[in-house]
Amino acid sequence: MVRITRRGFASRIATGAMAAFAASAALPMGVARPHDGAHVDDGPTVSADGPADHLVEITGFAFQPDRLQVRPGDTITWVNRDIAPHTATADDGSWDTGAIRTDESATVPVTPEMAATYYCRFHPMMTAQFDIVAVR
């Protein structure tokens, strides 16, 4: 069972400090978006080089988005907006959020070699993936 929502919060604090540093170097904050809109907080607290927390909503028995770009050091957080419980489980079983109940979330850290295709153990027709795009 993984419910490490506070980890993402701490990460945002850390990246906020980095964003402040970037701002002091006269970089426009609005440009500092390492990923194409898939992550949670694409506001001023994410710098170009800082880790991002990517949000995947589970709604209507589907992962949304069902594909996103991530980097090692990022985290992926799944939040369940359905009435039924769901999981995000690697196809090869190497990582698993465990059951995520309604309005709960689970966060998994991105590592370079991790399996990038996953499904829901309760509803195996629910599948999704991510692309690990660069080593940090």
Q: Could you give the CA distance from residue 133 to residue 129 in angstroms, rounded to a whole number?
A: 13
> Shortest gap between Cβ of 129 and Cu ion (angstroms)?
16
> Shortest gap between Cβ of 82 and Cu ion (angstroms)?
7
Q: Residue 59: which residues within 8 A CB-CB, separation 6 or more?
A: 81, 82
> What's the full length of the chain, in residues?
136
> Shortest gap between Cβ of 118 and Cu ion (angstroms)?
11
Strand residue runs (E) in 9-132: 53-58, 63-64, 67-70, 75-80, 89-90, 105-109, 117-119, 127-132
> Shortest gap between Cβ of 121 and Cu ion (angstroms)?
7
Query: Which chain residues interact with Cu ion by CB under 5 A?
Result: 86, 120, 122-123, 126
